[in-house]
Chain A
Amino acid sequence: MACTAILICGIGLALITFHLRELTFKGEMIMKTGKEYIESLRNRNIKVYVKGQLLNSEEVIDHPFIRGHVNSAAMTFELAHDPATEDLVSAISHLTGKKINRFTHIHQSREDLIKKVKMLRMISQKTGTCYQRCVGFDAINALYSTTFEMDMKLGTSYHERMKKYIEYMQDNDIMVAGAMTDPKGDRSLRPGQQADPDMFVHVVERNDQGIVVRGAKAHMTGMVNSHEMLIMPTMGMIAEDKDYAVSCAIPVDAPGVLHIFGRQTNDDRKCEGEIDQGNAQFGIVGGECLTVLENVFVPWEKVFMCGETDFAGMLVERFASYHRQNYGGCKGGVSDIVIGAAAVMADYSGYAKAAHIKDKINEMIHLAETLYACSIACSAEGKQTASGSYFVDPLLANVGKHNVTRLIYDIDRIAQDIGGGLTATLPSESDLKNPDIGKYVEKYFKGVASVPTEDRMRMARLLENMTGGTALIESMHGAGSPQAQKVMYSKLSNLDHKKRCAMAIAGIKPKGDEKAQ
């Protein structure tokens, strides 16, 4: 490892240490604390490569490229124990009646769907970045209802397996990475038509004990700091794609699994001090990687789809809708931080009272609450599935995520406008601390007299790191690129109805049964 790695093992617990120390839980506790989660990761025999080097499996979570993401994910565990936040981050299991971490819960009501969004916004306000655990959360919920309907139609027994797996996940409070996106190779070709069949994860062997899968999953959020992964097909399948319609759970350190960690625009800063990283404690986005599956064995009890091509599309759409539901919550919370950072920069620089600054901050608030409103709306319009669990309104969920691909750019643009040019041109932390030139950095980057220059630099760096580079691109492509949402509009919105409404208002009488064309 090139530079000193210090895991913030307490994950800044001071930040969330509650004033009322007497407020402790008395009920049955199966939920991990943040510290217990972090320690549990050290027991894995995981293979992670960073910049061409295989890391020691026990030290993966200490690597400076990875530790922030670990700290961020740890908050999803720790906040379930905080009296101020436990109402959102915990739930009662419909399977066992035990109090569980909400990230392992199956939605039992519209209220559960709404609490999920609120939870995501609240956690983002504490981390300022992705905490990764929603992907597995969405995967179990999508699989729960899909396996039920698959069993009803086909007579299979996947749903009972899924319930047992979810119970295991709840009782052990494990973090599961949702693994959907395949590399996909030539996008004009179906999985079985690819020059290299491994461009999509597929089954290469079936036997009495289980199946063997091969391929890779790309952009895997939180994978290297998870316990297991849930493989799902990346798109709808046709009969010829039978081997590619596969869903199963695999430990992240199973034989045949390796992970290649992705680079970020701010990598080098993670090997230096703290200020230039902007968010040194929790990092930027989710710590994505490429996960390679080289003939990985999966026992039948962890297989939830194997060849049922008719249900691949249902699973993908349900997962995608749940995941798109999230974005007004998590990005709403991240935007709260960006708005706060822009406002503080205005305070530190002495222009907070300018009318145009107030107007711009109000514009950012409008945009952030618009994102949040869509996520709340798709949850409030959720419905019960045949399995008993609740599913979001898919049209509104897609609209919400589509807004994120646009409005976050607007929020970040305005924040950069308010933050000023120094967010792009600031000298480094090393310059500030240099005995010869530090005094000049201190002197010439000062804003209002009462605010230390270091504070102004810290806020500028936070703004810089949250509004550019990897963070911004994630808003575009996370949970699917904008075209993926547009495709859903024509499918989920009734255009004929809109035409009929317009014709009626215009006084045009329909001709018999003829539909508007």
Chain B
Amino acid sequence: MKTIIGVKFCGHCNPLIEGPEVIENLKKLGPDLEFLSWEEQQKDILLIISGCTADCATRPQFKGPVINVSGSSVERIQYSLSELPSQILRTIREKEAVCLD
């Protein structure tokens, strides 16, 4: 069964990263993952992607695990842009493991 990731973007007014492109990369890196809207009721993980460090994306209510990406940071830890997709994927895997536990 695929892990469903609900995605919420900030709106990208002055972005360091292009959120939709990040998702495209993640889809290639993790074909077992399914990326849907944050408004989808059935989701395992909520992925918040803000285009820059202002990190202004609205936080929807969600009781499950949440991953925050802002600019090139994942959970407030900064990475190079080239590292970003793999670091997000690594964090998704960590959250998946917690879900399974």
Contact = CB atoms under 8 A, between A and B. Distances in A.
Interface residues of A, number: 28
- Sort A-B residue pairs by CB-CB distance and give the 5 closest, nearest first: A88-B11, A118-B13, A122-B13, A23-B37, A121-B13
Given A22-B35, A87-B8, A88-B11, 16 more contacts: A18-B20, A19-B24, A22-B36, A24-B37, A27-B39, A83-B37, A84-B19, A85-B12, A86-B9, A88-B13, A89-B11, A115-B56, A118-B56, A122-B11, A122-B13, A329-B13
30 contacts: A19-B20, A19-B21, A20-B20, A20-B24, A20-B35, A22-B34, A22-B37, A23-B7, A23-B36, A23-B37, A24-B37, A25-B39, A26-B37, A26-B39, A83-B7, A83-B20, A83-B37, A84-B11, A84-B19, A85-B11, A87-B10, A87-B58, A118-B56, A119-B11, A121-B13, A121-B14, A122-B11, A329-B13, A333-B13, A336-B14
Interface in A4-55: 18-20, 22-27
A246 B41 CA distance: 48
Interface residues of B, number: 23
Contacts of A27: 39
B66 to A, nearest CB: 15
Residue of B13, B23, B34, B35 ringed by the most chain A CB atoms within 10 A = B13
Interface in B1-39: 7-14, 19-21, 23-24, 34-37, 39
Contact of A87 (B9, B35, B40): B9
Residue of A18, A88, A121 ringed by the most chain B CB atoms within 10 A = A88
Interface of A: 18-20, 22-27, 83-89, 111, 114-115, 118-119, 121-122, 125, 329, 333, 336, 372
B28 to A, nearest CB: 12
A60 B19 CA distance: 38
Interface of B: 7-14, 19-21, 23-24, 34-37, 39-41, 56-58
A84 to B, nearest CB: 5
Contacts of A26: 37, 39-41
A20 B58 CA distance: 20
Residue of B7, B11, B23 ringed by the most chain A CB atoms within 10 A = B11
Contacts, number: 70
Given A25-B37, A27-B39, A372-B14, A84 B9 contact: yes
Nearest to A79: B11
Contacts of B36: 22-23
B13 A119 contact: yes
A125 B15 CA distance: 11
Contacts of B56: 111, 114-115, 118
Contacts of B40: 26
Nearest to B48: A87
Nearest to B39: A26
A111 B9 CA distance: 16
A84 B8 contact: no
A88 B10 contact: yes
A119 to B, nearest CB: 7
Nearest to B54: A118
Contacts of A25: 37, 39
A331 to B, nearest CB: 13
Nearest to B24: A19
Nearest to A91: B58
Contacts of B14: 118, 121, 336, 372
Contacts of A22: 34-37
A27 B9 CA distance: 17
